Structure 1
Amino acid sequence: MGRPIGRAGWHPRMPAWIGDVIAAAFIVASAYLRFSGADFRPIDVFTTALVIAPALILPLRRRWPIAVLAACVALYALAAFTESLWPGMVLAIAIAMFGVANRLRRRAALFAALVTIGVIVGINVLASLSTLLDVRAFALVVTVAFAAAAGEGARSRRDYIVAITERAEHAEETKESEARRRVSEERLRIARDLHDAVAHQIAVINLHAGVAFSAIPSRPDDAQEAVRTIRSAARTVLSEISALLEVLRTHDDEGTREISPQPGIERLDELVGQFEEAGLAVTIEIEGDITKAAVGAQIVAYRVIQEGLTNAHKHGADSCAHVLIRVELDTLEIVVTNPTLPSETPPTLETSGDRRSGSALGLIGLRERVAAARGTVEAGPTLGAWQVAATLPVSTDGRR
C-alpha cells in the first residue's frame, strides 16, 4: 500500500513487486547485449535457466538477504566458468548486495560486501576473465561497493525516520503528561486556597449567625455587631469566589494569579482577633526571631495556625487554644494545642483520608502545603489535649 498524499513529508511508495519486475526485465534483457566483445544468446535450456534464475530468486532477498546474495554469487561463478556470463549477473549481485546492506547492521553488511568483492574477483581471475589490475575488475568492485553504500544509506535514512518519529511521539506524550500534571497541581492549589480563604470566612459567617440569632431578643447591639461581621465576611467570600472563577477561566498562556494575597505571620494578630471575636481565647508564645524565617515559611506557618485554631474552635473544650512559634537555627516550629471533650474526636492526618468533613479536607490540604515547603506536620491527641504540630525549614523557598 502507498502512503497517503497530502501530509507534509509523505509521498506515495511504489509497490515492491513493481521493482522486482523491472529488475527481472533488465536482468533477462541484458542477456541479449554484447559483453566482453562476444555475443551471448540463451540457446538451450541450461543458458535460459541461467538467465532466468537470478530474476526469480531476487524477490526472496527481503526475507533471506544473505542466502540470495550467496546464490547470485554462485550463479555468477557458474556463468563465468561455462563462458555464459552476461551483464545481468552483475546487476543481480548489486541488487542482492543492496538488500543485504539495507537489512543488516553496518558491520555485517561491510563484512558481506568485502567477502562478495573478494569472491567475485577470485572467480574472474580463476576463470581468466580479467586480472587484478583489469579495468573490468575495478568496475565490478565499484559496482558492488556502490550497491552496499546505497543500501547502508537507505537503512540509515529509515532508522533516522523511525528515531525522529519515536522522539516526536515521546515528546507529544511527555507534553500531554506534563499538561495533566499541571492541571492536577492547579486543582490542588485551588482546593487549598479555597479552603484556606473561602471556607474560613464561611465558618466565621456561621459562628456569628449563631451569635446574632441568640442576641437579637436581649442584646441588639451585639446582634448588630455580629451582622456587620457576617456582612464583611460575605463580601470577602464573594471576592474570593470571583477571583477563583477568574483563575479557572484564565488560559495557560495568560498565566495564573493567586486567589488572594497570601497572608503571613505579620497578619497573625488579625487572625487571632477574628477567633477571639467568635469566642475563642487564644494565647501566643513566640520563641526566637520570626523575621529570620523566609516569606514562604511564614505563609505556611500562618496556614498551620489558621487550621489549628479553626479545629480548636469547632472541636475544642473551654473555648481556648495555645499557639507556640519557635524559631531555631534552621527550623521553624508551629504547635497549636487545645483541650478536647472526651466525646469529641477531632480528625487526624491518619483518618483524614477516610473522612470528608471540612476539617478532614483542611488537614489534607495542610499536609500538602507543608510537604510542598519541605516540612512535616502531625495532628492528633496528646496528654488530654489535641494539637497540630508542623516543622518547616527556615530557608524554605515557599513553594505552594
Structure 2
Amino acid sequence: MSTFERARCRLRAHPLALDAALAAGVLACMVAGSFVEPHGPDGVTWGVRTPDPFSLVLMTLGAAALVLRRRAPRTVLALAGGISVVESVTGDPRTPVAMCAVIALYTVASTTDRPTTWRIGLLTMTVLTGTAMIAGPLPWYAQENLAIFAWTGIGATAGDAVRSRRAFVRAIRERAERAERTREEEARRRVAEERLRIARDLHDVVAHHIALVNVQAGVAAHVMDKRPDQAKEALAHVREASRSALDELRATVGLLRQSGDPEAPTEPAPGLDRLDELAGTFRNAGLRVEVARADQGTELPAAVDLAAYRVIQEALTNVQKHAGADVRAEVSVVRVGPRIEITVIDDGAGGGPDPALGGPGGGHGLLGMRERVTALRGTLTTGPRYGGGFRVHAILPVKTRPSAARDGT
C-alpha cells in the first residue's frame, strides 16, 4: 500500500479530523480572498482591501460550522446560508463567506436523494443569489452575484454525482456479494446431493451383496458335513458376491478421490443390460426369479438405466432377506409410451414391512428407491399384495431433462 493510500485510509477512519482540516483550509481561502480586489485599475489586485472584524467573525463561524457537516448536514447548511445572507447585507466590501454554504450544500446533496437535492439546491441558490442582488452594495448584475448562483449550482450537482457514484458502487458490491453467496449455496447443495447419491449407491451395493453372502454362508454351514460339494458351491458364490461387492465399492469410493490422486479402477455403471446377470446371482442364492421384458430396442439414458437396475436390485434383495423360504419373485420391464415400467412382485408370506423396507424402525431400502425415482421425475408405489407377498412398481421416463439426469446419477 502506498503512502497516499495509507494517508487516505487514516483520514477515512477519522472523519471529524478530516472535516476540521477542510474547515481550516476553507477559512484560509476565505481570509485570503477577502484581501483581493477583483475590480482594481490593473485587474485583480492583492492587498488593496482588508476585511473588517465582523467579516472575520462571520468567516470563522461559517468555517467552524463545516466541522459538523457530516453529523448534521442540513443544520450546517442552514447556518452557513444564514451567515452568507448576513454577510451579503452587511459586508462592504463583501467577503467570500458563501464558500461555506457551497460546501454545506455539496454535503447535503451527497447524503440525500435527488428530489430533495433539487428542492434544497434551488432554495439555497434563490435565497443567496436573490439576497446578494437585492441587498448588496454592488450592482445586481455584478459577477460576484452571478458567481454565487454558479457555485451553488456546482455544489449541488457535484454532491448529487458523488451520491450516484456511491450508490452505483454499493449496488455492484451487493450484487457481487449476493452472487458469491449464491455460488456458495449452490456448491453446498451439489455437495449434499452428491453425498446422498453416494450413500444410495453404497447402500444398494452393500445390501445386495451382503444379503447374498449371508444366505450362501448359511447354506454352506448347513450342508458342510452332509453335502460338502454343495457347501463348496455355496462358498464359491460367497467369494463371487464379495468380489463383486468390492469392485462396486471401489468404483463408488473412487468418485471421492481428489483430481490429483492416482486413478482408481472403475467399471461402467450397471444397467438393465446386466439384468440377467443380476437375476442369476439371486438364483444361485436359492431365490426363484423369473424375468419378463418387453422393452427391446429401448435405449435409456444412463441415469434412468442405473436407477432401474438399482430398483430391481434393492427389491430382490428385500425379497431374499424378508420374504421367507421357498419364495418366488417375478421381474417385469415394460416400455409403455414415453415411460418404462418396472415391477417386482413376490409370493412370500412375510409379515408387515421390515425396517429395511422403510417401515417403522428406520431402514433406507424403499427410501433410497423412492429418492432415485423421484429425482428422475418418476413415481414409485410399494405395498403388500392381496393374498400375500409384496409389490414394487416404478415408472421412469425414457427421456430425462438435464437437471433430472444430474440429480439421478
TM-score by length of 2: 0.83
Unaligned runs of 5+ in 1: none
The CA distance in 2 between the partners of 1:173 and 1:363, in whole Å, is 35
The CA distance in 1 between the partners of 2:2 and 2:396, in whole Å, is 61
Match of 1:386 in 2: 390
Aligned residue type for 1:41 = P
The CA distance in 1 between the partners of 2:103 and 2:344, in whole Å, is 83
Q: 1:298 to 1:23 in 2, by over 3 A?
A: closer
Match of 1:280 in 2: 287
The CA distance in 2 between the partners of 1:47 and 1:208, in whole Å, is 109
Secondary structure of 1:250's counterpart equals coil
Unaligned runs of 5+ in 2: 40-47
Aligned residue type for 1:12 = C
TM-fit CA distance, 1:227:
1.7
Secondary structure of 2:69's counterpart equals helix
Question: What does 1:188-199 align with in structure 2 at a 5 Å threshold?
Answer: 188-199=196-207
The CA distance in 2 between the partners of 1:59 and 1:9, in whole Å, is 23
Match of 1:19 in 2: 18
Contact 1:264 / 1:301 at 8 angstroms: preserved in 2? yes
Q: 1:56 to 1:273 in 2, by over 3 A?
A: same
TM-fit CA distance, 1:96:
0.3
TM-fit CA distance, 1:184:
0.9
Check if 1:372 corresponds to 2:363: no
Contact 1:79 / 1:85 at 8 angstroms: preserved in 2? no
Secondary structure of 1:39's counterpart equals coil
Percent of aligned pairs sharing the same letter: 37
Match of 2:236 in 1: 228
Give the alignment partner of residue 39 of structure 1, picking from 44, 49, 60: 49
Aligned residue type for 1:217 = D
Secondary structure of 2:396's counterpart equals strand
Match of 2:400 in 1: 396
Secondary structure of 1:125's counterpart equals helix
Q: 1:16 to 1:396 in 2, by over 3 A?
A: closer
Give the alignment partner of residue 122 of structure 1, picking from 125, 130, 138: 130
TM-score by length of 1: 0.85
Secondary structure of 2:9's counterpart equals coil
Contact 1:35 / 1:86 at 8 angstroms: preserved in 2? no
The CA distance in 2 between the partners of 1:258 and 1:42, in whole Å, is 95
Question: What does 1:258-337 align with in structure 2 at a 5 Å threshold?
Answer: 260-287=267-294, 289=296, 291=298, 293-317=300-324, 318-337=326-345
Secondary structure of 2:101's counterpart equals helix
Contact 1:373 / 1:396 at 8 angstroms: preserved in 2? yes
Match of 2:62 in 1: 54
Aligned residue type for 1:270 = E
Q: 1:266 to 1:249 in 2, by over 3 A?
A: closer
The CA distance in 2 between the partners of 1:378 and 1:368, in whole Å, is 12
Contact 2:290 / 2:329 at 8 angstroms: preserved in 1? yes
Contact 2:356 / 2:365 at 8 angstroms: preserved in 1? no
Aligned residue type for 1:273 = G
Give the alignment partner of residue 212 of structure 2, picking from 200, 204, 215: 204
Secondary structure of 2:353's counterpart equals coil
Contact 2:323 / 2:350 at 8 angstroms: preserved in 1? no
Contact 1:40 / 1:84 at 8 angstroms: preserved in 2? no
Contact 2:328 / 2:346 at 8 angstroms: preserved in 1? yes
TM-fit CA distance, 1:343:
3.9
